């Protein structure tokens, strides 16, 4: 079950921000918010899903996206943000960590995507090669799937009666770190997606391994967590299935049935 992962980066971002003067923070925060919005919009239109790694770097589940598709999105981002240098590194692997390493190696080797053509006309570079050679190629002809976990904290609203807003944020940060450490040992990548929610790119991870990790973290912080597992051809389909699985856990609980981990396939 292969995952295609693209690491998108704003190159030289730190050095560029220094040219804006000292009173730059508000403008930078607005720029980062717009850039994330546009990046998510452009990729999600093609069935992909973007995760914020840092404000100058993003991980994108790009199953089904061709090299030419990457080029088209690169051009559109370049038109919107012509002062920014943008790069994409495409990686593949049987696990998210493996795909992340493949993208990292493609960037380090300087292996430019052959479909990029005249890269001098772009505001950046594309590294690596996509699994699909052309837009619209049949994703079903390749064993390409994404497996995503959608995790939330059960009854997290009760935390507000015990902790102040910032203390809740600190607790969530600790939970995020612990989840990230445990899942990385299984070559899965964890992202905080807001509220009390996390998503894990978990190709190759068994359901029982997910259950064990959720139990460990829950016991560590004396909380209860729910975990929906979604499997789909594309990032959006896998996330949709994971969220449906999470909703199913809540529905079953209302019927007196407790299933903290539930899986749905959306192929």
Q: What does the pLDDT look like over 30-59, one tens digit per residue?
A: 999 999 999 999 999 999 999 999 899 999
**The pLDDT value given to residue 1:** 83
3-141 and 146-266 in the same fold = yes
For 231-259, what is each residue's pLDDT tens digit? 999 999 999 999 999 999 999 988 888 88
Whether pLDDT at 129 is above 60: yes
pLDDT interval class at 110 (50, 70, 90): confident
pLDDT interval class at 115 (50, 70, 90): very low
Taking domain 3-141, whether its CATH number is 3.30.70.1230 is answered by yes
**The pLDDT value given to residue 143:** 85
For 79-92, what is each residue's pLDDT tens digit? 999 999 999 999 99
Beta bridge partners of 265: 231
Whether pLDDT at 140 is above 90: no
For 190-202, what is each residue's pLDDT tens digit? 999 999 999 999 9
| pTM, 2 dp | 0.92
Cβ atoms 24, 114 nearer than 8 A:
no
The CATH classification of domain 146-266, taken from the options 3.30.450.40, 3.40.390.10, 3.30.70.270, 3.40.50.300: 3.30.70.270
Domain positions in the chain are 3-141, 146-266
């Amino acid at each position: 079950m292969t995952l295609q992962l693209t690491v998108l980066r704003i190159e030289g971002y730190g050095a560029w921000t220094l040219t804006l003067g000292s009173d730059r923070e508000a403008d930078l925060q607005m720029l980062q918010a717009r850039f994330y919005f546009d990046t998510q919009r452009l990729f999600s239109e093609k069935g992909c899903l973007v995760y914020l790694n840092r404000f100058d770097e993003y991980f994108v589940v790009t199953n089904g996206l061709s090299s030419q598709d990457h080029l088209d999105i690169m051009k559109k981002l370049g038109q919107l943000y012509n002062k920014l240098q943008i790069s994409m590194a495409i990686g593949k692997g049987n696990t998210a960590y493996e795909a992340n390493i493949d993208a990292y190696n493609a960037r380090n080797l300087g292996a430019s995507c052959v479909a990029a053509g005249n890269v001098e006309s772009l505001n950046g570079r594309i590294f690596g090669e996509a699994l699909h050679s052309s837009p619209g190629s049949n994703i079903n002809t390749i064993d390409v799937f994404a497996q995503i976990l959608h995790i939330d904290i059960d009854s997290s609203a009760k935390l507000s009666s015990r902790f102040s807003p910032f203390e809740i944020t600190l607790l969530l940060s600790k939970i995020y770190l612990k989840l990230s450490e445990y899942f990385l040992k299984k070559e899965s990548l964890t992202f905080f997606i807001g509220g009390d929610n996390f998503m894990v790119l978990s190709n190759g991870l068994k359901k029982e391994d997910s259950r064990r990790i959720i139990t460990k973290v829950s016991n560590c912080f004396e909380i209860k967590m729910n975990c929906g597992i979604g499997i789909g051809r594309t990032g959006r389909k896998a996330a949709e299935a994971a969220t449906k699985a999470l909703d199913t856990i809540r529905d079953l609980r209302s019927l007196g049935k407790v299933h903290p981990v539930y899986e749905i396939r959306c192929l």
